[in-house]
């Protein structure tokens, strides 16, 4: 069994960029775009426990900021268990991570994110 730990150095800039874009869009008041960047950060970082947990932490904070009880309640178990699932390599590939989707359901990965994975030498289909 492969144990995953930190996000690869080649992938980290893409994850960080999505988090920066999230914060920028949130600051501008574009909540829909901000959320989309959080989902993208989640997809990029979901294989790696710390990045996966950070994405869910940011989603939890977003839930508090927009006063969404559904998001806050939905993020708590994802925050608790997401990193563990990443550590043992059992993640629902492509899942955007929000409380509006089933936590264990895989989703297709957008072409541009697949291209990022390919560029850095990762298989976007692996779970």
pLDDT per residue rounded down to tens, the chain (127 residues): 566 678 999 999 999 999 999 999 999 999 999 999 999 999 999 999 999 999 999 999 999 999 999 999 999 999 988 888 888 888 899 999 999 999 899 999 999 999 999 999 987 665 4
Residue 104's domain comprises: 12-119
What pLDDT sits at residue 3?
63
Separation between Cα atoms, residue 58 and residue 77, nearest integer Å: 14
Continuous segment of H or E residues that includes residue 106: none
The answer to whether residue 3 sits within a structural domain is no
The answer to whether residue 1 sits within a structural domain is no
The answer to whether residue 109 sits within a structural domain is yes
The answer to whether residue 5 sits within a structural domain is no
Domain count, the chain: 1
The answer to whether residue 2 sits within a structural domain is no
Write the DSSP assignment of 6-74 as a string of letters: SPPTTTHHHHHHHHHHHHHHHHHT-HHHHHHHHHHHHHHHTTSHHHHHHHHHHHHHHHHHTT-HHHHHH
Written as six digits, the tokens of 66 are 């927009």
């Amino acid at each position: 069994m492969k144990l995953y730990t930190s996000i690869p150095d080649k992938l980290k800039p893409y994850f960080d960029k999505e988090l920066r874009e999230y914060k920028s869009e949130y600051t501008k008041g574009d909540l829909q775009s901000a959320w989309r960047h959080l989902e993208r950060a989640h997809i990029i970082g979901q294989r790696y426990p710390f990045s996966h947990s950070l994405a869910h932490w940011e989603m939890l904070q977003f839930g508090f900021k927009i006063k969404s009880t559904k998001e806050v309640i939905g993020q708590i178990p994802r925050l608790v268990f997401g990193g563990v699932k990443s550590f043992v390599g059992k993640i629902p590939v492509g899942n955007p991570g929000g409380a509006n989707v089933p936590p264990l359901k895989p989703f297709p990965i957008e072409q541009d994110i697949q291209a990022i994975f390919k560029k850095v030498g990762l298989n976007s289909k692996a779970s």
